[in-house]
Structure 1
Amino acid sequence: MKILITGAAGFIGSHLSEYFLNETEHDVIGVDGFVREELSVIGTRNIASILQHPRFTLIRANMLQLDWTKALDGVDIVYHLAGIPGVRSSFGRSFANYADSNILATQQLLEACRGTKLRKFIFASTSSVYGEKAGQVSEDAALTPLSPYGVTKQTGEQLCRVYRVNDGVPTVVLRFFTVYGPRQRSDMAFHIFIRSMLKDEPISVYGDGTQTRDFTFVSDCVRGTASVALQPGLIGETINIGGKERASVNEIIQLLETLTGKQAKVNYTGTTRGEPKHTWANIARAYQLLGYEPAVTLATGLSLELDDLKKLYS
């Protein structure tokens, strides 16, 4: 098969590209515009191991300016992972960029997929679409996002439904729950905490640190995500991709203190604007449809991310 992955130089996209190249015989076309400032610096590092792979082709282009007719020629599977992430930065004037990258680019790609022989269009969504929920959250829960970012991803999901119902685009939606691990974005909590501790700098924690997350290690996320392409059917499904363990922010900091052998200097500040207090994925559907079972513990996953960031900041 020929698999096209948007956002291929990003955190999850680079790992997914590696998986298909190293674990299967499929060809991978990576699309990335290196739009975010961070990616212009680290994107090449993320995909350094596959740039010269004989089954990998990189299209470096802004999705809004790409000739999709040419890019989609012969493609069997599309993974649409590209977009602007981040909750707090989606408020204010920057929302226009979120709308362009997360809504308009998604619509243009779906439009280009009409009438093709595509087998699946897999859209990467987020737990942010759920908003504040109590207990485990299943895929049929009401969507009440708390941030403009969550609204853009919910809109992307609805666009997938519209193009599936009206034009037969074979869409599948995956909702990721707080993915972490090597190559994690520099604006995400674990990356910030580890970098600060390595540099003996204080850590700023929004709220009181008792908020909990369903943390998903990137290799678990990628295995679940990749299995969607390899599993027959699934068209029209929405599937949670969650982790093995939940923990509070304070518990994460304590674990990092153990792993680094350093005492964290924590400053509690501000509020968690646009973020739910707790997230917890019900992954029964992922297990039923994909055989998905996350395997990596928090201690192991954090240790692997710590090793990667030591190399990055050495």
Structure 2
Amino acid sequence: MTKHLITGVAGFIGSTLAETLLRSGLSVVGVDSLTDYYPVENKQMNLAALQEFSRFEYLNEDILAMSTELHQAVNDCSVIYHQAGQPGVRGSWSDGFDDYVERNVLATQKLLECIEDKPGTKFVYASSSSVYGNADSWPCTETAVPKPFSPYGVTKLAAEHLVTLYAENFGLNSVSLRYFTVYGPKQRPDMAFTRFINAAIHGDTITVYGDGEQIRDFTYVSDIVEANIRAGQTGGNGAIYNLSGGSHATVNEVLEILERVHGEPLKVERVAQQAGDVRRTGGDSTNARERLGWEPQVAIADGIARQYAWQKANQRTMG
């Protein structure tokens, strides 16, 4: 039976992708070293749900170490969804940069080395809209010159370049997907929607960085998962696709939606903008629509309502 390998399988997107594949009858090998960037308990709960499936195999492995068992798993799988990496803009400055280089760049190179002589293996890399930084115009197309505005964005772009050059040099069947602000159930606790919703549910103050007029293009997690699956089916010779959910909104507009969903006024405190936070994101997903047949399905108001309902029903460790 065809196996699919997912790195970062215990995380937000990785676990959602794994569950979707498993429910469709496929076999999944999941890899995750359970780093402590956010509470490991969250990841363990994601894993527990996946381990209920007999077709799920879990490897608690560090890609950088690349054990014989992990190397064999990589070679046994026909599709690799590389979701693992060190997330977050704010932690990528100063001494934190080492972790970003290791987990975003070096780990990606390790995986690529394993399959450089296996052109039939499809490799789907989770990139980020952070590669664009403060672009000159919006929405960005994939041909826009990348100008990362944070060390995090630099490492995501560097790994993306590795994926492309391995395709060009060795014929690797690879695709890079540039995610635009993904949200939904199981979202990381450090991300804005989780923090906002958790604060609303508990009557706490919501902290907003800057004036709240920053514009983001939000993409619901099930739409991201669908794009990954389509990319894993079609492959590509180093192709790059924007995955933009088409739900443009300011942070203030998001708070207005959340207040309606919550049914009570929110407590909001505004603090200084953080270094590396771009003013706007927005992507043109025409190529993903035309070549992958991908179309985002979930609008921002519906998505926030779904995430709110999930968080209220699943009071996880949100610290």
Distance 2:36 2:103 in 1: 11
- What is the TM-score when the length of structure 1 is the normalising length? 0.95
Equivalent position to 1:240, from 242, 249, 257: 242
The residue type equivalent to 1:160 in the other structure is V
1:137-163 deviation per Cα after TM superposition (whole angstroms, max 9, x unaligned): 110100000000000000001111222
Q: Note the residue ranges of structure 2 that are not aligned, 5 or more in a row.
A: none
Quick check: 1:153 aligned with 2:156?
A: yes
Q: How does 1:136-151 map onto structure 2 within 5 Å?
A: 136-151=139-154
Secondary structure of 1:48's aligned partner: helix
Secondary structure of 2:312's aligned partner: helix
Quick check: 1:40 aligned with 2:40?
A: yes
1:143-192 deviation per Cα after TM superposition (whole angstroms, max 9, x unaligned): 00000000000000111122222222222110000000000000100111
Q: How does 1:17-28 map onto structure 2 within 5 Å?
A: 17-23=18-24, 25-28=25-28
- In the TM superposition, what is the alpha-carbon distance from 1:50 to its structure 2 partner? 2.1
Equivalent position to 1:296, from 280, 287, 298: 298
The residue type equivalent to 2:237 in the other structure is I
Distance 1:226 1:37 in 2: 27
Quick check: 1:281 aligned with 2:283?
A: yes
Q: What residue is the counterpart of 1:104 in the other structure?
A: 106
Q: What residue is the counterpart of 1:268 in the other structure?
A: 270
Retained in 2: the 8 A contact 1:75–1:118?
no
Retained in 1: the 8 A contact 2:164–2:239?
no
Q: Which moved more, 1:273-282 or 1:160-169?
A: 160-169
- In the TM superposition, what is the alpha-carbon distance from 1:291 to its structure 2 partner? 1.1
Root-mean-square deviation (Å): 1.4
Q: What residue is the counterpart of 2:11 in the other structure?
A: 10
Retained in 1: the 8 A contact 2:168–2:237?
no
Retained in 2: the 8 A contact 1:76–1:117?
no
Retained in 2: the 8 A contact 1:2–1:28?
yes
Q: Which moved more, 1:52-61 or 1:77-86?
A: 52-61
Equivalent position to 1:190, from 189, 193, 204: 193
Q: Are the structure 2 counterparts of residues 30 and 39 from structure 1 closer, same or farther at C-alpha, using a change threshold of 3 Å?
A: farther
Secondary structure of 1:313's aligned partner: coil
Distance 2:37 2:97 in 1: 16
Equivalent position to 2:93, from 67, 74, 91: 91
The residue type equivalent to 1:55 in the other structure is R
Secondary structure of 2:273's aligned partner: coil
Retained in 2: the 8 A contact 1:35–1:62?
no
Q: What residue is the counterpart of 2:29 in the other structure?
A: 29
The residue type equivalent to 1:15 in the other structure is T
Distance 2:36 2:64 in 1: 14
Distance 2:65 2:249 in 1: 41
- In the TM superposition, what is the alpha-carbon distance from 1:37 to its structure 2 partner? 4.3
- In the TM superposition, what is the alpha-carbon distance from 1:312 to its structure 2 partner? 3.1
The residue type equivalent to 2:217 in the other structure is D
Equivalent position to 1:257, from 256, 259, 280: 259
Q: Which moved more, 1:58-67 or 1:120-129?
A: 58-67
The residue type equivalent to 2:242 in the other structure is N
Secondary structure of 1:52's aligned partner: coil
Q: What residue is the counterpart of 2:78 in the other structure?
A: 76
Secondary structure of 1:36's aligned partner: coil
Q: What residue is the counterpart of 2:131 in the other structure?
A: 129
Distance 2:46 2:61 in 1: 17
- In the TM superposition, what is the alpha-carbon distance from 1:244 to its structure 2 partner? 3.3
Percent identity of paired positions between Structure 1 and Structure 2: 39
Equivalent position to 1:207, from 194, 207, 210: 210
- In the TM superposition, what is the alpha-carbon distance from 1:117 to its structure 2 partner? 5.4
